[in-house]
Amino acid sequence: MTPEVSSTGPATLDDLPANGFHSKLALISAGGPFCDGYILGIIGIALPSIVRELHLTGAETGLVGAAALLGVLAGGMLGGAVSDRLGRRPLFTLNIAAFVVFSLLQGACSGLVLLVTLRFLLGVAVGADYPIATSYVAEFMPRKLRGPVLSGLILAWWVGYTASYAVGYGLSFFPDISWRIMLVSSAVPSIVLFCLRMGLPESPRWLVQQGRTEDARNIIREHLKADILPSVEHQGQLSLLQIIRSPYRGALVFVSAFWILQSAPGFAIHTLQAQLLHQYHVQNALLGSLCITGLTILGILPVTLGLINLMGRRLLLIGTFAISMLGLLLLGVSATPASWMIFSGFILYSVSEAAGSGLQFVYPNELFPTAIRASAVGMACSFSRLGAALGTFLLPLGYTQFGMQPMMLIAASFMLAGLLISWMWAPETKNASLGEPPSQTQPPSPSICAS
């Protein structure tokens, strides 16, 4: 029998030992990012076929690629705000049902307008899952597991993204199978996840924030085998505008800034990877994009396995921006780079960018209190996806008009900006309890995150 932890003792939810429920929750929660990555990735492998069949222009190609990202912008704002008000659990399952419905409807696409509409609606559901799932996981996990598990959600995203490329590439060998079937395939993992997420408990931290202490205590006793209540910050519910004006605005600026600078070139390059390789006159661009995308897992896997705790959040963010910049500079140094430069540059960028993306769910969940955590995560996610949508829309226009070299140099400038912002503002949060102010002991101190 597992001993209970005394409510009068020093232990907190942050200090409890990991048990089977934590493992179950981590695996089920990872299903959301897996489906997110699959939904956003499958368009990249289907896009060449869509362009040929619908005779899309450069602007229309960018619109199809960016539609889901624009939906993520809306979904992040909506999902985070609703989750902070109604709880983590209801939307944790409901938005997966939307994955299923809109994925299946893609099989009936008859033209550009319907396709863009459905991709946008799928993006809304994906965007809602980011703040809901990450807040839910962060509020259950002990301190030592929080970083690895939250970065593990990013790993699941990349696995889903890579799986979509593998499935799409496999289906491309069957000429009778259209791109519509590729897009519909995202319904399969979504249905499985919908069944797995049913029956999970509400977040005890959110319950305590609402004054439902007995409900929270019962959940902790049943699932965490402890008799203790979480320490929750006394923070009233804030609107989105009030969050922007609150003392947490500095943290919101930092999280949004580094997330935008990672996502704007990242989503554009990953979504259009096959198109970009074609621009570089690479034979079998679909296979090349599959290989490059698959290697991204080599970047995020060590982060999930403990590198995020070993290096700390701050050094990891700074280092990955620096290495990503080097990869893009390798692509932009020549108008006609050699094949080894093309693949080395894309692989170096993709692997390091994936490692840095592991902080996208970690930093916002560790910097904001329970009452506004999901809303703040949703806002930062939405801002980043606005940048990602613009990047995905503008990249095909840019390389058509100006060529690949200047576009890669522009992307490298985003990495330089991210490096400078991380150096000035990134705090270290690996030892902080959830909701506590971040440590300011590692110079240079990011005063923006505390102002």
pLDDT at 243: 66
442: phi > 0 → left, psi -120 to 50 → alpha, else beta; which? beta
Q: How many CB atoms lie within 10 A of CB 196?
A: 15
pLDDT at 425: 93
pLDDT above 90 covers a percentage of the chain that reads 20
Tell me which residue has tokens 């699941």: 156
- Strand-pair partners of 439: 428
Q: How many CB atoms lie within 10 A of CB 228?
A: 22
Separation CA 149–CA 204 (nearest Å): 18
* Phi, psi for 446 (deg, rounded to 5): -85, 85
pLDDT at 330: 92
pLDDT at 441: 34
pLDDT at 141: 87
- Map residue 127 onto helix, strand or coil: helix
What mean pLDDT is predicted for residues 363-387?
80
Answer whether 79's CB lies under 8 Å from 374's CB: yes
Task: Give the 3-state DSSP-derived string for 197-221, with helices as H, strands as E and coil as C.
Answer: HCCCCCCHHHHHHCCCHHHHHHHHH
Separation CA 445–CA 451 (nearest Å): 12
**285 or 444, greater pLDDT:** 285
What mean pLDDT is predicted for residues 240-259?
78
Q: Give the residue among 418, 278, 389, 402 at the shortest CA–CA distance from 332.
A: 402
Confidence of residue 1 (pLDDT cuts 50, 70, 90): very low
Inform me whether the pLDDT recorded for 143 exceeds 70: yes
**44 or 217, greater pLDDT:** 217
Q: How many CB atoms lie within 10 A of CB 110?
A: 9
Confidence of residue 75 (pLDDT cuts 50, 70, 90): confident
pLDDT at 136: 85
Task: Give 172's DSSP letter.
Answer: T
Inform me whether the pLDDT recorded for 318 exceeds 90: yes
Radius of gyration of the chain from its Cα atoms, rounded to whole angstroms: 21
Convert the pLDDT of each residue in 327-367 to its tens digit: 999 998 887 888 888 889 999 999 999 899 889 888 888 88
Confidence of residue 4 (pLDDT cuts 50, 70, 90): very low
pLDDT at 277: 86
Separation CA 445–CA 353 (nearest Å): 24
C-alpha angle with apex 231: 226 to 236, nearest 5 degrees? Answer: 140
Separation CA 298–CA 249 (nearest Å): 34
What mean pLDDT is predicted for residues 137-165?
86
Q: Give the residue among 21, 374, 19 at the shortest CA–CA distance from 199.
A: 21
pLDDT at 9: 43
pLDDT at 89: 80
pLDDT at 122: 92
C-alpha angle with apex 26: 348 to 296, nearest 5 degrees? Answer: 10
pLDDT at 244: 66
Inform me whether the pLDDT recorded for 440 exceeds 60: no
What mean pLDDT is predicted for residues 239-262?
79
Inform me whether the pLDDT recorded for 67 exceeds 90: no
Convert the pLDDT of each residue in 258-279 to its tens digit: 999 998 888 788 877 877 888 8
Query: Which residues, at least 6 apart from 268, have a Cβ–Cβ distance to it below 8 Å?
Result: 65, 388, 391, 392, 394, 395, 411
pLDDT above 70 covers a percentage of the chain that reads 90
- Map residue 405 onto helix, strand or coil: helix
Inform me whether the pLDDT recorded for 46 exceeds 90: no
Convert the pLDDT of each residue in 186-241 to its tens digit: 999 999 999 988 888 888 888 888 888 888 889 988 888 888 876 655 555 555 66
Q: Concatenated DSSP letters for 251-316? A: HHHHHHHHHHHHHHHHHHHHHTHHHHHHHTT-SSHHHHHHHHHHHTHHHHHHIIIIIHHHH-HHHH
Q: Give the residue among 105, 283, 300, 71 at the shortest CA–CA distance from 190.
A: 105
Question: Tokens in use for 81?
Answer: 């705000």
- Strand-pair partners of 13: none
pLDDT at 313: 92
Please state which of the ranges 120-129, 202-211, 381-390 shows the lowest mean pLDDT.
Answer: 381-390
- Strand-pair partners of 428: 439
Torsion of CA 311, 315, 317, 323, to 10 degrees: -100
Average pLDDT, the chain: 82
Question: Tokens in use for 35?
Answer: 């489906």
Question: Tokens in use for 71?
Answer: 């939906």
Inform me whether the pLDDT recorded for 422 exceeds 50: yes
The residue ranges of every structural domain in the chain are 20-230+239-449
**32 or 1, greater pLDDT:** 32
- Map residue 358 onto helix, strand or coil: coil
Inform me whether the pLDDT recorded for 12 exceeds 80: no
Q: Give the residue among 349, 345, 324 at the shortest CA–CA distance from 334.
A: 345
**423 or 171, greater pLDDT:** 423
**6 or 135, greater pLDDT:** 135
What mean pLDDT is predicted for residues 390-401?
78
Separation CA 353–CA 323 (nearest Å): 8
Task: Specify the CATH number of the domain 20-230+239-449.
Answer: 1.20.1250.20
pTM of the full structure: 0.74
